[in-house]
């Protein structure tokens, strides 16, 4: 499927209903998710960074762009890019970097408002809005139709203020974000409040553990559900459990729970 067709499919997914957009961290995990029937995928900054032995937000812009090209080129389904904070602070630099991202073949990308500074974890409101506006301008100039998601990170960086989150997401929508995302929301009341505040714009909800179901989120009006680095963490959990058993006990029982070689090998036959 061509990038333009992927973009069209991606937009259609946001128009009605509720879909899960899981987060692979490499080509193998992306292709397996497609085989399971998922209609779109999203990259994960944390899962990708961990696969390179780095912490989240610990990879470069060039590494990320190469990763986006690789994932988007490996599947026919649309791919949304976790583009972190645009790899820049200044709106003009965000504009430049987003333009580069639009050339990778992704169907969508997100820009977040976290600073990485624990003392001041969110960019100032006005600057945050200008950063979204800059991303919007870059996408428009690119002519790619990449779908822009505006993220407000307060609930995962120590500023769980629902009113401020809604204020920011509403402003991001006015600045050109087509989908809104506040990772860290957990209560149904909070989720419903965000959905209602930015309607009819679609909302993405992050699910990193077992606190809600797809039907429950659909009933709240959520359009898109992602899992961030949770699938990568699940994979690392299996790896670490088996490796620790070998290192600490000298036994191999954990390996008996592994997916059979033939099953994995067959999944990658082309």
Residue 270: pLDDT band with limits 50, 70, 90: confident
Distance between CA atoms of 41 and 48, rounded to whole angstroms? 14
DSSP states of the chain as a string?
Answer: --HHHHHHHHHHHTTSS-EE----SSHHHHHHHHHTT-S-EE--HHHHHHHTT--TT-S-HHHHHHHHHHHHHH-SS-EEEE-TTTT-SSHHHHHHHHHHHHTTT-SEEEEE-B-S-SSS-B--HHHHHHHHHHHHHHHHHHTS-PEEEEE--GGGTT---HHHHHHHHHHHHHTT-SEEE-TT--SHHHHHHHHHHHTTS-EEEE--SSS--HHHHHHTT--EEE-TTHHHHHHHHHHHHHHHHHHHHS--GGGGGSPPHHHHHHHT--
Q: What is the pLDDT of residues 53-79, one digit of tens each?
A: 999 999 999 999 999 999 999 999 999
| Boundaries of domain holding 29 | 3-228
- The reported pTM is 0.97
Q: Which tokens in the block code for residue 224?
A: 């898109």
Q: Does residue 3 or residue 64 have the better pLDDT?
A: 64
128 and 237 together in one domain: no
| Judgement on whether residues 216 and 244 belong to the same structural domain of the protein | no
* pLDDT, tens digit (0-9, with 9 covering 90-100), for 88-146: 999 999 999 999 999 999 999 999 999 999 999 999 999 999 999 999 999 999 999 99
Residues 95 and 109 in one domain: yes
**How far is CA 211 from each of CA 23, 46, 186, 256, rounded to the nearest angstrom?**
18, 21, 7, 29
Q: Are residues 170 and 263 in the same domain?
A: no
Note whether 188 and 240 are same-domain residues: no
Number of domains present in the structure of the chain: 2
Q: Are residues 40 and 158 in the same domain?
A: yes
pLDDT band at 174, cuts 50/70/90? very high
Q: In 233-250, which positions are buried (b, 16+ CB within 10 angstroms) versus exposed (e)?
A: beeeeeeeebeeeeeeee
State pLDDT tens for residues 244-264. Answer: 999 999 999 999 999 999 999
Instruction: Kindly state whether residues 157 and 255 are assigned to the same domain.
Output: no
């Amino acid at each position: 499927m061509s990038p333009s067709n992927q973009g069209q499919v991606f937009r259609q997914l946001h128009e009605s209903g509720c879909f899960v957009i899981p987060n692979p961290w490499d080509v193998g995990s992306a292709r397996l998710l497609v085989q399971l029937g998922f209609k779109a995928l999203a990259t994960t900054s944390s899962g990708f960074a961990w696969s390179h032995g780095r912490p989240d937000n610990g990879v470069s812009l060039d590494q990320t762009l190469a990763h986006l090209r690789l994932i988007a080129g490996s599947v026919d389904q649309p791919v949304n890019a976790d583009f972190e904070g645009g790899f820049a602070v200044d709106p003009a630099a965000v504009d430049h970097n987003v333009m580069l991202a639009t050339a990778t073949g992704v169907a969508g990308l997100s820009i977040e408002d976290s600073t990485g500074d624990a003392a001041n974890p969110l960019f100032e409101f006005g600057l945050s809005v200008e950063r979204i506006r800059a991303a919007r301008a870059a996408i428009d100039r690119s002519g790619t139709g990449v779908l822009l998601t505006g993220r407000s990170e307060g609930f995962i960086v120590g500023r769980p203020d629902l009113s401020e989150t809604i204020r920011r997401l509403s402003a991001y929508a006015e600045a050109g974000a087509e989908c809104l995302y506040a990772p860290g929301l957990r209560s149904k009341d909070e989720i419903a409040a965000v959905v209602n505040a930015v309607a009819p714009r679609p909302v993405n909800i992050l699910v990193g553990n077992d606190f809600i179901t797809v039907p429950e989120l659909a009933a709240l009006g959520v359009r898109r559900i992602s899992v961030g680095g949770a699938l990568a963490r699940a994979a690392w959990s299996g790896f670490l459990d088996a490796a620790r058993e070998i290192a600490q006990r000298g036994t191999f029982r954990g390996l008996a729970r592994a997916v059979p070689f033939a099953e994995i090998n067959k999944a990658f036959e082309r």
